[in-house]
Structure 1
């Protein structure tokens, strides 16, 4: 008899690794740039600490999907966690800048394996209704993990720039739980009638890319708005993001109840209305206090976004394709994350950061109207 509670706890802990990979060392970046100031172009190179993992994940995740389908779910998962610990924590004990960058690349490989195999496991372990209930918990865990890791990273960075890298050692604490609770699902054979599965999943991949391009503007653009335009302090950035993630967690908890009443398209429609409202408030903000009015709609929108996309994806993909398809979904998410600052930079240069937020609010509202028309033909 499988211990369902231990399985769920294990998968929730694994889910927090994705958010840990991205935001843990954000507070250290200015300190890293200062420490290695003798390196030419260090301001740019220090930002690669964040972008290299996303780029590697986007490129490697499709291959990770093939590995997961060929070798099973658990071997790639455990291998990914070991790489996560080694690559992620490298900055804690190796103080060579370029070696740390290599560690960040290893971290990208690790997250690609972890996210691909864990997404496939969720599809294997749970029926659709149970999956929606679990994903409510998963969304909450990711949001709370984000609040915890960005806060802990900020506190440790005040002591020394290298200390936040020690956070990547945390999986050592729960690795024994994973080994004793997770099991390898049975292998599924291919069914001929599912030959058009890639065509069916393309809208999911495109949606994952598009929404991440839009939503990732928050962590990439908001800090500059707060510090350079509204005169806030760096710690204010973390406080604003943490407030939004609190609403994220509260909304994610309700996903199963929401999905029982509304379709995937209707949930996306509500998501883009909330997002449009949130970024519009940001575009009109004249003070830090004004931004906090945007945290509720933005947090609620983000709380629905990832959960709804993963749930929609798993409802469409057949069991024998879960590994490969999960890799493509992971790649789509992180390709959108990597592309977001590149795509938005020309708009920022032309119209300013708040001009970008205003334009995106109009785009999001148009998407909501399109989904309304599509959903009620």
Structure 2
């Protein structure tokens, strides 16, 4: 069974499965340990600013990705996608599992930094290889499916992290060793495009930065708001009386909703109105986070997570498909690395920007602020998308 397009040869099933499994590593990087944050904070309570530092163990991964992704993109374009993926997966397993034996918070944080380097490389090389192997609607369909697998990884690893957090806050770090299972498959991937393989004419094709840079900005803003879920929601749920072992299951609702939305995107083969889609998606996330902020009980959080998760689930495949279509083949690694950097920089900034809105253990105001910001961004994109649609209709007429 293969997937193909008029512009690309058939892609073997094992290659597609490997790329889909690789996508689950992205959300694992933060989601796996999210349910153990309160217990980890209690363990390191004697340290100054322990509440912020513990949250940063999730989001420092994003900073490492944001800093290293451009380098990963350059290396990926120079030597090919497969070598970068294999090395990155080995580093992912080693650095990710370091929380099992790290003697202090500083060592643990260092392991998270190296994990970020690995995630940035796998995300960049994986996205670039998808853009190499697929074209047109086949690309949009696969990117939607890949995004769904990313979210489904959260559905699996968030509850698993919650269960392991009940054993001890270190236990969830063992899940990162699962990356070793994908390495043998990654060794069978095609090498992918490289700069040296391109003709001078193709290499001269320029990147349309006037469209690429705004997409990066949208990705950054979206992730600042979305990442309130893994960094703040455990505290919101704890305040509503939810046990730590159940936190992962409740949080998994958001990722499941996102997976279903991404599958819908995949079935449609993408969208012809990416700006409108981004606006509506971010407005849905704003609506969901409003419900979460106002919820009087844990049961009320669920519909908010479903709505917000569905909106978030459409943003990433929409942006990835849009940028993959714009990027020249010789620059795909660099363009996709910019998207990775924007997304994960948003992850890192999220708890820092939310900090002024946190009142002790009450994080509801952080969700309110995130909802307001998302509503403004979504409305601006909606207006821009409608204007573009009107212009196209006028031109076609």
What are the Cα deviations for residues 263-309 of structure 1, in whole angstroms up to 9, with x where unaligned? Answer: 11221122123223212222332111111221221121011011111
Tell me whether 1:241 sits opposite 2:251 in the alignment: yes
- Do the aligned partners of 2:83 and 2:191 also contact (CA within 8 Å) in 1? no
Tell me whether 1:316 sits opposite 2:316 in the alignment: no
The worse-fitting range, judged by mean Cα deviation, of 205-214 and 171-180 is 171-180
Picking from 186, 196, 214, the partner of 2:225 is 214
- Do the aligned partners of 1:89 and 1:167 also contact (CA within 8 Å) in 2? yes
Cα RMSD for the two superposed structures:
2.6
For 2:364 and 2:41, the matched residues in 1 are separated by: 27
Length-normalised TM-score, structure 1: 0.90
* Compared CA separation, residues 251 and 129, structure 1 to 2 (3 A): same
- Do the aligned partners of 2:124 and 2:340 also contact (CA within 8 Å) in 1? yes
- Do the aligned partners of 2:165 and 2:245 also contact (CA within 8 Å) in 1? no
The worse-fitting range, judged by mean Cα deviation, of 299-308 and 262-271 is 262-271
* Compared CA separation, residues 241 and 132, structure 1 to 2 (3 A): same
For 1:132 and 1:97, the matched residues in 2 are separated by: 41
Quote the residue 2:151 is aligned against: 143
Q: Aligned runs of 1:119-158 on 2, under 5 Å? A: 119-158=127-166
- Do the aligned partners of 2:37 and 2:234 also contact (CA within 8 Å) in 1? no
| Ranges in structure 2 where 5+ consecutive residues have no aligned partner | 1-8, 388-397
Tell me whether 1:267 sits opposite 2:277 in the alignment: yes
Quote the residue 2:59 is aligned against: 51
- 1:56 is displaced (CA, Å) by 1.0
Q: Aligned runs of 1:323-342 on 2, under 5 Å? A: 323-342=333-352
The worse-fitting range, judged by mean Cα deviation, of 177-186 and 261-270 is 177-186
- Do the aligned partners of 1:88 and 1:168 also contact (CA within 8 Å) in 2? yes
Q: Secondary structure at the match of 1:253?
A: helix
The worse-fitting range, judged by mean Cα deviation, of 261-270 and 43-52 is 43-52
Size of the aligned set, in residue pairs, is 375
| Ranges in structure 1 where 5+ consecutive residues have no aligned partner | none
Q: Secondary structure at the match of 2:188?
A: helix
Quote the residue 1:62 is aligned against: 70
- Do the aligned partners of 2:18 and 2:185 also contact (CA within 8 Å) in 1? yes
Tell me whether 1:100 sits opposite 2:108 in the alignment: yes
Quote the residue 1:6 is aligned against: 14
Q: Secondary structure at the match of 1:341?
A: helix
Q: Secondary structure at the match of 1:254?
A: helix
The worse-fitting range, judged by mean Cα deviation, of 3-12 and 266-275 is 266-275
Length-normalised TM-score, structure 2: 0.85
Q: Secondary structure at the match of 1:168?
A: helix
Quote the residue 1:295 is aligned against: 305
Picking from 230, 234, 242, the partner of 1:232 is 242
- Do the aligned partners of 1:273 and 1:364 also contact (CA within 8 Å) in 2? yes
- 1:30 is displaced (CA, Å) by 4.0
Tell me whether 1:223 sits opposite 2:234 in the alignment: yes
Quote the residue 1:81 is aligned against: 89
* Compared CA separation, residues 108 and 201, structure 1 to 2 (3 A): same
- 1:318 is displaced (CA, Å) by 1.0
Quote the residue 2:3 is aligned against: none
Tell me whether 1:161 sits opposite 2:156 in the alignment: no
- Do the aligned partners of 2:19 and 2:126 also contact (CA within 8 Å) in 1? yes
The worse-fitting range, judged by mean Cα deviation, of 49-58 and 15-24 is 49-58
What are the Cα deviations for residues 191-232 of structure 1, in whole angstroms up to 9, with x where unaligned? Answer: 47633533331111111111111211222232232223x343
